[in-house]
């Protein structure tokens, strides 16, 4: 156990900004779920809005790091976590762009399993970020990080299964390329969640 608040005298602005960033990342996953449920009724506006909001948060964190004398965590840790969180909505926006470029080629493709893994991973990351200001227990954070590692492993196994089916199927070459690109992007989002979890675990381990 450790008390980060003792290090900063009650100044919690960096915690607040990181928590906002985690919430934007989680909301971008929810937007993905809605997009997959009704692609014909969706646009990229929600993805773009969330990514821009998260970019502003990331820029705010960077600016404050240059002007704040005492920070609650080491500066490089704050920046690493901020960047890891920002990459989640950024990558999801790329997925949305690619999906809406070829709606006819992915009309009957089921992304439900990837979406479920993403929802779980984003929820875990958000919980981990919110714990940082509350003297988190190392073992609890390790369990949560292990859960992210498990979800990332499940995503890898699913990717292999999907590629096997894709390469054995009868889809045309363009459809194969488009689907592989979409599969890669969804797997990358899981990787981004894992990266954020690794940063948080590293922070807690260093301060325990």
The token pair that represents 205 in the structure block: 């381990």
The residues spanned by each domain of the chain are 5-207
Burial of 153-177, coded b for 16+ CB within 10 Å and e otherwise, reads ebbeebbeebeeebeeeeeeeebee
Cβ atoms of residues 121 and 190 within 8 Å: yes
Q: Give the model confidence (pLDDT) of 29-39 as tens digits.
A: 999 998 888 77
Please state, in angstroms and as integers, the Cα–Cα distance from residue 6 to each residue in 12, 20, 135, 145, following that order: 11, 22, 10, 25
CATH of domain 5-207: 1.20.58.220
Q: Give the model confidence (pLDDT) of 161-186 as tens digits.
A: 999 998 887 888 888 999 999 999 99
pTM above 0.75, yes or no: yes
Please state, in angstroms and as integers, the Cα–Cα distance from residue 102 to each residue in 60, 98, 107, 115, 121, following that order: 36, 7, 9, 19, 27
């Amino acid at each position: 156990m450790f008390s980060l608040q003792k290090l900063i005298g009650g100044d919690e602005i960096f915690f607040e900004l990181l928590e906002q960033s985690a919430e934007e990342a989680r909301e971008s996953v929810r937007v993905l779920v809605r997009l997959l449920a009704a692609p014909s009724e969706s646009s990229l506006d929600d993805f773009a809005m969330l990514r821009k909001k998260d970019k502003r948060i990331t820029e705010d964190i960077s600016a404050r790091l240059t002007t704040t004398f005492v920070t609650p965590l080491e500066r490089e840790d704050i920046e690493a976590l901020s960047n890891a969180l920002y990459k989640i909505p950024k990558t999801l926006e790329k997925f949305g762009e690619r999906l809406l470029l070829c709606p006819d080629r992915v009309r009957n493709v089921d992304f439900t399993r990837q979406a479920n893994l993403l929802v779980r991973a984003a929820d875990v990351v958000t919980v981990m970020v919110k714990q940082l200001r509350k003297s988190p227990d190392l073992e609890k954070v390790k369990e949560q990080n292990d859960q992210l590692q498990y979800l990332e492993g499940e995503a890898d196994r699913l990717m292999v299964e999907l590629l096997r089916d894709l390469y054995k199927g009868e889809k045309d070459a363009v459809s194969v390329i488009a689907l592989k690109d979409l599969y890669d992007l969804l797997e990358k989002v899981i990787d981004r969640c894992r990266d954020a979890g690794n940063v948080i675990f590293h922070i807690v381990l260093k301060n325990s």
